[in-house]
Amino acid sequence: MKYPLLASLAVGLGMGLSGAAQAVDLSINVGTPAPVVVTQTPVVVGWHGDRYYDGHRYWGRSEWEDHHRHHDDHDHCPPGHAKKGEC
């Protein structure tokens, strides 16, 4: 006698909870995601360690000196170094 009463109670409770679960309206509005902006890290023209960046490519020290010696009649100091007294 005890088991049929427990079974009917469990069935009734389950039906009641399923009806309550259907009545709940759970809506979450996330909205439009923000746009992703990817930017490059700016590279400063000048010496970076043992390489010189001229805005277009990196040069080794001897390569830079050889390239610019052919274009200039005198020894050329990289931009920014003359101001620092490094040439």
Per-residue pLDDT tens for 14-27? 666 665 556 677 77
Given a cut of 60, whether residue 29 has pLDDT beyond it is yes
Per-residue pLDDT tens for 46-72? 888 888 888 888 989 888 888 777 555
Of the pLDDT bands very low, low, confident and very high (cuts 50, 70, 90), residue 2 is low
Q: How do the domains of the chain map onto residue ranges?
A: 43-87
* Model pTM score: 0.33
CB neighbours of residue 37 within 10 Å: 5
12 SS3 class: helix
Cα torsion 62, 66, 64, 87 to 10°: value is: 80
